[in-house]
Amino acid sequence: MTDPPLDLSEQIKAATKDNHVRAENTQLMLSYQKGQITLVQYKVLLCSLYEIYKALEEELDRNASHPAVAPIYFPQELARVESLERDLEHFWGSEWRKKVIVPAATQRYGQRLRKIGRENPELLVAHAYTRYLGDLSGGQVLGKITQKSLGLISKDGLSFFQFPGVSSPNRFKQLYRSRMNSIELTEEEKAAVLEEAVLAFELNIQVFDDLQKMLSVATETVNQPSDRFPAAILRSSPILQYTVGLCLALATIGVGIYAL
């Protein structure tokens, strides 16, 4: 007797299992989970996350009626852009839009999301699943780590980690998986979604490897006393943009994804 076919969510977990293990054991991931994050790093992180989620959510909004997107379209419960805008304003001030730093790899991530949104909207499922369910899982722990590391008394500046529209993260994740597993995809489309999930992990791991080589440079740089450092220095140094911004952005993404 043959086993029943795996649901799409189970197939994604199985397809990316090795990637999980490899990424979890990078120095970058281990360091973040130890709470080694500074305010300057977190502010740059918010810039990267904002650009990524802005691209993702604009494409989800634009494709909301697509048969592969509609079942997992939960803007009221999951959308992160407005939360990130509040966090950015809290740390950067009312003119934060003029100070946003967009590292090159973050731009490439956004470009990828916009490309598949235009050409293959069903592939957005892979990104939405790994990001949002990761946020609901590891994001809760990550919020506490960030608050403690930065010595924040309140949760102001931590809106990204909060989901007021989700009363029970575990029950919502079950609903989300059920909705995603109900999506009707051809075998070719399903294979493409799995490939997209693997690609997302592989791109992250490649960046982890590159960032680890430059981590000592980034650490020395972000510890400079000037609060204006990111805007003043990073704009003139593509290498530091790549290093500082993405090392924290990918660490945050990773912590959540591994809890799926």
Instruction: Extract the annotated binding site for heme b.
Output: 13, 20, 129, 177
- Say if CB 63 and CB 69 are below 8 A apart: yes
Q: Distance between CA 228 and CA 223 in Å, rounded? A: 12
Which residue blocks in the chain are alpha helix, DSSP H? 8-15, 17-24, 27-33, 39-62, 75-78, 81-92, 104-119, 124-150, 169-181, 187-222, 229-233, 238-240, 246-257
Annotated binding site: 13, 20, 129, 177
Neighbours of 184 (CB within 10 A): 9
Say how far residue 79 (Cα) sits from the centre of its chain: 12
* Amino acid at residue number 26: T
CA 152, 154, 160, 163 torsion-angle sign: positive
Terminal Cα distance for the chain, rounded? 30
The burial class, CB within 10 Å (0-12 / 13-18 / 19+), for 231 is middle
